Amino acid sequence: MPPVLNLDPASLDLSRVVADQEAIRRVNPQRFEMEQLNAIVHVDTELHIFAGYKDVRADEFWVRGHMPDYPLFPGVLMCEAAAQLCSYYIATHGLLQADFVGFGGMENVRFRGQVRPGDRLLLIGKATKLNRRQSIFDVQGFVGSTMVFHAEIYGVPMRK
């Protein structure tokens, strides 16, 4: 059974970009093949709910080898995209007392559908615990209205 929605994906206007890739780069340290977010499209600081997306392209590094003749976006990269979304949120809203947010762990991860080149993976996160030593987020991923994955993501403050 899928979890209760953090936010109905149909309620979002994906053309209303709050932060484009350049704005994300000013906050998140990932570059080149490891950049997994294209835009932030929703931020609600009262409810700590936020959303962004990744446009999955046919020329990405994993396509050739992750299921040749039927490329599937790897689950580990879905998780990385979700972690980058959480990192962006915590870093841009005064919740971080460090250089960046590190990936501290994951729990209750479930993959429920496919993500393929040409798809837009919409990620919707909700902070469930915000603390100076650890933050926990509930993140859900969608292609269209279909939930394709969900997970609890743990973020920890990191210093360079």
Collect all residues with Cβ–Cβ distance below 8 Å to 15 and sequence separation of at least 6: none
Specify whether 150 is catalytic. no
Report CA-CA distances (Å) from 116 to 5, 72, 74, 112, 121. 22, 5, 9, 13, 9
End-to-end CA distance of the chain: 41
Catalytic annotation, pick one of 42, 48, 66, 150: 66
**Angle, CA of 94, 147 and 28, to the nearest 5°:** 30
Strand partners, 136: 129, 154
Q: Which residues are catalytically annotated?
A: 66
